A = this chain, B = another copy of it.
C-alpha cells in the first residue's frame, strides 16, 4: 500500500531521516512499567504510564496553543509526575528511588529493531531525531541505549512543540536543506499528517503496538505516506540501506 515505490524519483532525493522518538523508537510504556514494578507491587503501572503520558501531553498542548509560556519536556514530565505521586499514593517509596524513577524517560528502552535498523540506515542517510523532548533527555537516552544519531533536533531548539510547523522546518534547514531531501519517520499519524506532510517532508509510518491508550485503529497501513514500514529494519530494506 505504498504511495511511492522506493526507486521513485521522489524518494531518490532523500538524503536524511528525521525520527520521532517517544513511541517510534522508545518503548516508553514498557520502560515505565519495568522500572515501576519493583518500587511497589500493588500499583497498576500500565495505567500509571498512560496517565503520565496524558499528563505531560495536556501540558504540551497548553504550551503549543499559547496558554502557557515555553517549558521544556523535562519540566512538563516532572509536573505530571508530581501529580501522579499523589494520585497513585507513591509517597511511601524512598525519596531517592522516587527521584530516580522520575527520570526514567532519560533511560527509555528502545524497540529491538531500532539498533540494527538505524545502524543500516545511517550507512546511507544522515539520521537525526525530531522529538518534543529536550536535548538533555534525548542525549541521555541515546547514550543509555547505545543509539547513535548524527544530530539531535528537538522542539526545545525552536521553542515550539510538534505538530506546529517550526520543528519540521528545523529538520528541513538542518538536514536538507530542501524538504524533499528529508524523510520524517513516526508511529503517529497526527504527527505525520498535521506536521511533516504539511511542511512537505517525505513521510514514513512505522506502526507500534498500543501507542495511544485509547487507540486501537491507529496502526493500519495508510496510503497517505510515502512509506509504510513494519519497523526500522523494513524501512532500511525499502530504502535500500
Q: How far is the CA of A135 from the CA of B170 in the complex (A)?
A: 10
Interface size class, chain A = 20 to 34
A156 at the B interface (CB under 8 A): yes
Q: How far is the CA of A152 from the CA of B139 in the complex (A)?
A: 11
Whether B135 and A174, one on each chain, are in contact in the complex, defined by CB atoms closer than 8 angstroms, is: yes
Number of copies: 2
Q: Of A139, A143, A173, which is in contact with the most chain B CB atoms at under 10 Å from its CB? A: A139
A177 at the B interface (CB under 8 A): yes
A224 at the B interface (CB under 8 A): no
Chain B residues closer than 8 Å to A157, beta-carbon distance: 157, 170, 174
A151 at the B interface (CB under 8 A): yes
A194 at the B interface (CB under 8 A): no
A51 at the B interface (CB under 8 A): no
Question: What mask results when residues 30 to 50 of chain A are scored 1 for a CB within 8 Å of chain B, else 0?
Answer: 000000000000000000000
Partner of A151, one of B126, B135, B173, B177: B135
Q: How far is the CA of A149 from the CA of B80 in the complex (A)?
A: 31
- Contact surface of A with B, Cβ cutoff 8 Å: 126, 128, 134-136, 138-140, 142-143, 148-152, 156-157, 170, 173-177
Q: List 25 A-B contacts (CB under 8 A).
A: A126-B139, A126-B140, A126-B143, A128-B139, A134-B174, A135-B151, A135-B173, A135-B174, A135-B175, A136-B174, A136-B175, A136-B177, A138-B151, A139-B150, A143-B150, A148-B148, A149-B151, A150-B152, A151-B151, A152-B152, A156-B173, A156-B174, A157-B157, A157-B170, A157-B174
